[in-house]
Amino acid sequence: MYAIFRASGKQFRAEKGKTIRLPLMTAEAGSKVVFDEVLLSSDGQTIRAGTPLVSGARVEAEIVKQGKEPKIYVFKFKRRKNYRRKTGHRQKYTEVRITDLALG
């Protein structure tokens, strides 16, 4: 039993009990969130694809924590021009645990 849902402009696969890292959301750890934009759902026997969304389907989740990914270094240079730039980036994320799937 799984569902494909859309959150923050990206698509994710949800199964009950799984933990997923989503782009940063403005919510506290321990709070509940509901994702209504379910694109596809399956109960193991049948697959329901939405046009564009599956009616009545939703994914309920609980926010576990918020954090940052490991640092990624970006290094630019141009040879023989004395041009070097080193920058870093850490993407922020929200980790959620799927608590319930309503397939509609």
pLDDT for residue 104 = 76
Phi-psi region of 67 (alpha: psi -120 to 50; beta: other; left: phi over 0): beta
Please list the pLDDT of the chain residue by residue as tens digits (104 residues): 999 999 999 999 999 999 999 999 999 999 999 999 999 999 989 999 999 999 999 999 999 999 999 999 999 999 999 999 999 999 999 999 999 999 87
Q: What is the DSSP string of 6-75?
A: EETTEEEEE-TT-EEEEE--S--TT-EEEE--EEEEE-SS-EEE-SSS-TT-EEEEEEEEEEEPPPEEEE
